[in-house]
Amino acid sequence: MELDDFKSAWQSLDRKLERDHGIQKRLFLEHRLDKTRSSLRPLVFGQVLQMLLGTALIVLGVACWRRNVEIPGYLVAGIVLHAFGVVNVAWAGITLGLIGCIDYAAPVLAIQKRLALLQRFYALGAVVCGLPWWIMWLLVVIAFAGLGGQSASVDANTPTWIWITLSVCLFGLVGTWWFYRWSQRAGYPRLAKAMHDTVIGTSLRKAQAQLNELERFEKE
């Protein structure tokens, strides 16, 4: 075989290997991105449920405060539930919008930035929409009571058990918030990571792990 023929055959083989490697790399990236997209589906389902819950809170809150305009306790409970329901629906809607805005055809770094934004917003939502349930469940009970057939007297005193329960719930809310903040600053990295992972949820952690693997693959 002539030297020129050998060089030509070698270059042809080299181009074929590069092409095959490019195809395998693209297939691997597409597979991982599909897994990333699939990892976020439970989060989408959860946000849909949150929107339904928020809608139910709006309906309950409006029904309570409209029925008890002259009774301060029921009026306040209904208005707070109404507002909290709106916040839940809005937050879930924005979260779904952030998920829908992720462009899986973009570079991995761009997807990671989008996912980081989603994580921060979702973590804040856990505080805004999750932490208040220490108290909101009590307001739900009060609101249902406000829909009862017998209306309370305008001058009726708030039952003692409500004040006791509210005090306990406030203590739990503040304690939960303090413990989370303390875990992030106390110098216990494992505890801090565990608390952070609990807040952001399984779906986002899986998606982030997929993207981290893709980033390592691209650097190799």
Furthest-apart CA atoms within the chain: distance in Å: 108
Tokens of 174: 């503040």
Question: Considering its fold, how many domains does the chain have in total?
Answer: 1
Residue 21 lies in a domain: no
Closest CA to 58 of 169, 173, 165, 136: 136
Residue 71 lies in a domain: yes
Residue 94 lies in a domain: yes
* Cα 37 off chain centre by: 15
Closest CA to 137 of 179, 100, 165: 165
First-to-final CA distance of the chain: 36
Q: Would you mind telling me the total number of residues written for the chain in this entry?
A: 220
Residue 15 lies in a domain: no
Contact between 62 and 82 (Cβ < 8 Å) = yes
Residue with tokens 């973590």, as numbered in its chain: 123
Tokens of 159: 């039952």
- In sequence order, what are the residues at sequence separation of 6 or more whose Cβ sits closer than 8 angstroms to the Cβ of residue 117? 98
Residue 163 lies in a domain: yes
Residue 81 lies in a domain: yes
Residue 43 lies in a domain: yes
Alpha helices, H only, the chain: 3-39, 41-67, 72-100, 108-125, 133-146, 160-185, 189-219
Residue 16 lies in a domain: no
- Containing domain of residue 102, as a range? 37-219
Tokens of 99: 């998920």
Show pLDDT as tens, one digit a residue, over the chain (220 residues). Answer: 455 555 555 556 556 555 555 555 565 566 666 777 777 888 899 999 999 999 999 999 999 999 988 888 889 999 999 999 999 999 999 999 998 888 877 777 788 888 888 888 988 888 889 889 999 999 999 999 888 754 555 445 667 778 888 888 888 888 888 887 777 776 767 766 676 666 676 777 777 776 766 666 555 5
